[in-house]
């Protein structure tokens, strides 16, 4: 296969692809096999129809068309690899010349236009200076952490008084709409003031003591009648308050590995400091992309921006909001520029993604969508999005790599140690995300222990014309 490249703009190329009859033959053979399995011809079992009969009944033109459509994606991807271009958008293919339909001789000539990642010179990655806010750990913050710890070890004690904010109450609830009871809940526990139950419940409970009941109106928040107003009968069974242990040496020995409350508080101060250092490191990471983007011009394919803006506004039902559109255009362009920059750093720094890193990222992402990891991975496979997940992990590692080369100081000039936040690159031949993707696509059990069914990502969608 021969490929030449016409650079149409810094972000768009045309691939001129010439496929020989020998290279097209596997697609021709597949076309005959697929057609044989899909047509019904008297005297022949499905899948056993000879090629001459298919030529006669279906036509060699249909076979050729099937073969071209089947092979197009592979030819395009191979050409892009050969030309060392990095596609970013939806390709558009034109069939310039077909082989001779009589004997499939002659080359298949294809042109494909596609948006690509632009070429640019990376700014210097060594020696970036990043400044973050200084911090201090106050006594009040330590006391607050200690109070939180005491609360975790507190016990609930029944009290004979009206409920108040912070109490835990035991309730029976009945919901009726008209004369019909639509929901009940007995013996439920609720923390007063948390706002995690029915609207208006806190105000009603303020007037009750254990053993009393009342009725009020409120919209239901779940079930078949969610959003409908209902009469809610609430019966207060018990009021309990949290009784905290004393903040003394005995508590320190129960709640920690320390012998004294002073040692425990010192450790809480250390942990708060570590948390604030983590915040400094996060702030430094956020600065890196902005600092680097200021030093380099990265053009973004306009179609990518237009498509993303349309998708965003359509999801928000704000397609006619021109002011918001302008904001989304700016943010989308910056997002794409950031991704292009980090992808280039990934290549320049030879960043690799290990199976464990990818698996951890996928499990975390699955949780954010409220899905089981295996189900989430299967959906990603069906939509061809697993490589995108690998790219996201790689971008995070690329960012961490640059952070490791930077000089980070706080606003008082004190150096911030980021070494604990730089991942160690332990990716080896048996710990490569590419191998994991290959095994997933072959239908092996994924790292989360669930069957991913081996469904391959979908092909690119092309617009193509025969010329």
Is it the case that residue 467 has pLDDT exceeding 50? no
371 Cβ contact list (under 8 Å, min separation 6): 379
Most confident of 162-171, 195-204, 314-323: 314-323
Answer yes or no: are the C-beta atoms of 293 and 337 closer than 8 Å: yes
Strand partners, 384: none
Is it the case that residue 464 has pLDDT exceeding 70? no
pLDDT in tens, 343-374: 999 999 999 998 899 999 999 999 999 999 99
**pLDDT on residue 430:** 53
* Nearest residue to 255 via CA among 153, 131, 158: 153
Strand pairing category for 92-97 and 463-466: parallel
Question: Using CB atoms within 10 A of its CB, is residue 305 exposed (0-12), middle (13-18) or buried (19+)?
Answer: middle
- Write b or e for each residue in 76-103: b if 16 or more Cβ atoms lie within 10 A of its Cβ, otherwise e: bebbbeebebbbbbebbbbbbebbebee
**pLDDT on residue 463:** 45
**pLDDT on residue 224:** 83
pTM score > 0.85 for this model?
no
Q: Which fold has domain 2-115?
A: Alpha-Beta Plaits (3.30.70)
Q: Which two tokens stand for residue 120?
A: 């640019």
Q: Which residue has the higher pLDDT, 464 or 174?
A: 174
**pLDDT on residue 428:** 53
Q: Which two tokens stand for residue 180?
A: 């019909």
Is the Cα torsion angle 447, 450, 453, 456 positive or negative in sign?
Answer: negative
Domain boundaries of the chain, sorted by first residue: 2-115, 155-243, 270-466
| Mean pLDDT value across the chain | 88
**pLDDT on residue 461:** 39
State the DSSP code for 259.
Answer: S
Specify the CATH number of the domain 155-243: 3.10.50.40
282-291 mean pLDDT: 93
- How many other C-beta atoms are found inside a 10 Å radius of the C-beta of residue 264? 23
For the chain, count helices (H), then strands (E): 13, 12
- Is residue 225 very low, low, confident or very high in pLDDT (cuts 50, 70, 90)? confident
**How far is Cα 88 from Cα 305, in angstroms, rounded to an integer?**
11
Of the options 1.10.1040.10, 3.40.50.300, 1.10.3120.10, 3.30.160.60, the CATH number for the domain spanning 270-466 = 1.10.3120.10
* Secondary structure in 3-state letters for 33-57: HHHHHHCCCCCCCCCCCCHHHHHHH
**How far is Cα 238 from Cα 400, in angstroms, rounded to an integer?**
53
């Amino acid at each position: 296969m021969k490929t030449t490249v016409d650079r149409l703009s810094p972000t768009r190329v045309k691939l001129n692809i010439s496929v020989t009859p020998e290279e097209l033959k596997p697609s021709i053979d597949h076309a005959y096999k697929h057609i044989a399995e899909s047509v019904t011809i008297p005297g022949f079992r499905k899948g056993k129809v000879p090629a001459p009969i298919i030529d006669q009944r279906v036509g060699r033109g249909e076979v050729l068309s099937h073969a071209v459509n089947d092979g197009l994606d592979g030819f395009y991807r191979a050409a892009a690899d050969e030309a060392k271009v990095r596609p970013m958008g939806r390709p558009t293919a034109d069939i310039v010349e077909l082989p001779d339909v009589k004997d499939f001789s002659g080359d298949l000539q294809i042109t494909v236009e596609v948006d690509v990642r632009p070429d640019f010179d990376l700014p210097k990655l060594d020696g970036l200076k990043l400044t973050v806010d200084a911090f201090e750990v106050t006594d009040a913050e330590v006391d607050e952490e200690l109070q939180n710890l005491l609360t975790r070890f507190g016990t609930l004690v029944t009290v004979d008084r009206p409920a108040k904010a912070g109490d835990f109450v035991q309730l029976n609830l009945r919901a009726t709409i008209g004369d019909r009871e639509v929901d009940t809940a007995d013996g439920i526990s609720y923390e007063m003031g948390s706002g995690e139950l029915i609207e208006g419940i806190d105000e009603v409970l303020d007037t009750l003591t254990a053993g009393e009941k009342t009725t009020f109106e409120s919209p239901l928040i779940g079930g078949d009648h969610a959003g409908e107003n209902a009469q809610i009968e609430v019966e207060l069974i018990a009021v309990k308050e949290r009784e905290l242990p004393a903040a003394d040496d005995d508590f320190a020995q129960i709640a920690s590995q320390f012998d004294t409350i002073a040692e425990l508080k010192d450790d809480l101060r250390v942990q708060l400091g570590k948390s604030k250092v983590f915040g400094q490191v996060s702030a430094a990471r956020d600065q890196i992309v902005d600092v680097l983007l200021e030093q380099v011009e990265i053009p973004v394919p306009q179609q990518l921006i237009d498509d993303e803006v349309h998708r965003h506004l359509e999801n928000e039902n704000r397609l006619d909001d021109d002011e918001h559109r302008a904001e989304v255009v700016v943010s989308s362009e910056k997002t794409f520029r950031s991704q292009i920059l980090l992808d280039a750093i990934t290549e320049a720094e030879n960043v690799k993604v290990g199976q464990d890193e990818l698996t951890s990222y996928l499990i975390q992402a699955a949780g954010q969508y409220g899905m089981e990891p295996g189900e989430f991975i299967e959906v990603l496979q069906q939509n061809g999005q697993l490589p995108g997940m690998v790219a996201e992990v790689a971008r995070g590692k690329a960012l961490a790599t640059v952070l490791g080369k930077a000089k980070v100081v706080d606003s008082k000039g004190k150096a911030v140690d980021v070494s604990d936040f730089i991942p160690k690159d332990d990716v080896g031949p048996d710990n490569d995300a590419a191998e994991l993707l290959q095994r997933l696509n072959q239908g092996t059990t994924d790292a989360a222990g669930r069957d991913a069914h081996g469904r391959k990502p979908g092909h690119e969608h092309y617009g193509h014309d025969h010329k």
